[in-house]
Amino acid sequence: MQFLNRLCRRISESTLGLEITVTGVSMFPAFSEGDQAIVEPRRYRDDNPRRLDIVVVRPPGEHREDIKRIVGLPNELVEIRDGTLQIDGEVLAESYISEPMPREWLHAWGTGDAEYVILGDNRGALGITDSRAYGPVRRDALVGPVTRRLK
């Protein structure tokens, strides 16, 4: 099931960044199986990752790359509680997720100085892994933001 949320391959490197093809359903409806996009690995050398950036990430201890959304930034308390995503006690409106989260889900992360909470948009799909499975990720695990959809 891990194939559901990994990137299939890097097709080519261009001046804009890396062209990728998405496999799986973890970011549906923002991205679907077979969608192509540009990732800019150099972007985070100068800019800080922002909340709601869609990124390519290397999960801790894994030899793959996933596409996910940054929801939690450094030094925050991020919780899934009562069917909502909460940042430092404030509900984050998530119009991009595919389905509401079940009210009984309970997850909480406190992030450190260079840590981010990343989640897929299709959170109820089987086999999806994100910060719910492996916790916050370090900044150096973020390959770069997805900056453009090709098709």
Give residue 99's identity as a one-letter amino acid code.
Answer: E
| pLDDT the model gives residue 93 | 95
Q: Is 12 a catalytic residue?
A: no
For residue 24, count CB atoms less than 10 angstroms from its CB and return exposed for 0-12, middle for 13-18, buried for 19 or more. Answer: buried
The pTM score is: 0.87
Q: Which overall architecture, per CATH, does domain 2-149 show?
A: Ribbon (2.10)
59-113 pLDDT, tens digit each: 988 888 999 999 999 999 999 999 999 999 999 999 999 888 999 999 999 999 9
Which is nearest to 71 in space by CA: 92, 90, 89, 57? Answer: 92
| pLDDT the model gives residue 15 | 52
12-22 pLDDT, tens digit each: 444 568 899 99
Domain assignments of the chain as residue spans, ordered by start? 2-149
What's the mean per-residue pLDDT of the chain? 88
Q: Is 151 a catalytic residue?
A: no
| pLDDT the model gives residue 12 | 40
Active-site residue (options: 12, 68, 95, 151): 68
Active-site residue (options: 12, 14, 26, 95): 26
33-68 pLDDT, tens digit each: 999 999 999 899 889 999 999 999 999 888 889 999
Angle at 128 between CA 29 and CA 118, to 5 degrees: 75
